[in-house]
Amino acid sequence: MMISVGIDISKRKSTICILNAYGEIISMPYELTHAGIELSELINSILNFREETRVVMEATGAYHLPVLSNMLDRTMPGIKEFLKSRLNNPDKDKLHAFKIFFIIIYSPNKTLLI
């Protein structure tokens, strides 16, 4: 069974809701700040799920970056460097999309969809 984590991002806080594949609520929506222990606790709880877990968040200018950065550091080390070094050429967007897809699908850790 898959678990879905939805994150609604705003400037200083986010609202989190966690559901299973049947739409049953695992965690009622709650808010957390982007700094410190609250974000770390969210990432720890995601990593502790025994089922396949998908995280979906909105890209809101720069507001999502602290959440995304922390999640990438903990779940897929090295992907940020790949994105910085390989995705600067807009002529290769389709190729980059496939590369990111395969990195996420075949990651040995929990997967992250953005």
Using a cut of 0.85, tell me whether the model's pTM lies above it: no
Element (H, E) at 75: helix 65-75
For residue 24, CA distances in Å to 2, 18, 104 come to 11, 9, 25
Q: Please tell me which residue, 90 or 45, carries the higher pLDDT value.
A: 45
The answer to whether 76 and 112 have CB atoms below 8 angstroms apart is yes
pLDDT band with cut points at 50, 70 and 90 for residue 114: very low
For the residues 92-103, what does the mean pLDDT come to?
59
Q: What confidence score (pLDDT) does residue 80 get?
A: 57
CATH numbers and ranges of domains, the chain: 2-105 (3.30.420)
pLDDT band with cut points at 50, 70 and 90 for residue 111: very low
Q: Is residue 107 scored above 70 in pLDDT?
A: no
| Residue 87 per-residue DSSP state | S
DSSP 25-72: EEEEEEEEESSTHHHHHHHHHHHH-SSEEEEEE---TTTTHHHHHHHH
pLDDT band with cut points at 50, 70 and 90 for residue 35: confident
Which one, of 29, 20, 25, 14, lies nearest residue 1 by Cα?
Answer: 20
Chain-centroid distance, C-alpha 46: 10
For the residues 7-24, what does the mean pLDDT come to?
88
Q: Mind listing the pLDDT tens digit for each residue in 40-65?
A: 888 888 888 888 888 888 777 778 87
